[in-house]
Amino acid sequence: MRRVRARVHGRVQGVFFRAETRSRAQSLGLAGSVRNLPDGTVEVVAEGEDDRVGSLVDWLGRGPAGAQVERVEVVEEQPVGESGFQVR
């Protein structure tokens, strides 16, 4: 199991980033959440099988159509056994 907290920078708000992230995470069987932060970034917390979390992190570097991702900062965390994936 792997858990990451990622902060996505660029044009990532107002382009369905949260909804697409939730859809992608759910299709990968991941738990966690996604939310907009006041500074214009998006924060994603994802937990699940290592390769599936890696797949989501790779996708965060591109994002949905309309997004312009400049960079993604990823911090590894201890898994907590979270379930479900939510937009906050």
Each residue of 24-50: pLDDT tens digit? 999 999 999 999 999 999 999 999 999
Residue 57 counted as domain residue:
yes
2 is catalytic: no
Say if 88 falls within a structural domain.
no
Q: Which of 5, 7, 11, 36 is catalytic?
A: 36
Q: Report the candidate in 74, 81, 87 with the shortest Cα–Cα distance to residue 35.
A: 87
62 is catalytic: no
CATH assignment at residue 22: 3.30.70.100
Full residue range of the structural domain in which residue 21 is found: 2-80
Is residue 86 domain-resident?
no
The 10s digit of each residue's pLDDT in 44-75 is 999 999 999 999 999 999 999 999 999 999 99
Asked whether residue 73 is assigned to any structural domain, the reply reads: yes
pLDDT at position 81 is 94
What global pTM score does this model have? 0.96
Query: Is residue 85 in some structural domain?
Result: no
Query: Which among 2, 85, 5, 1 is positioned nearest to 44, based on CA atoms?
Result: 5
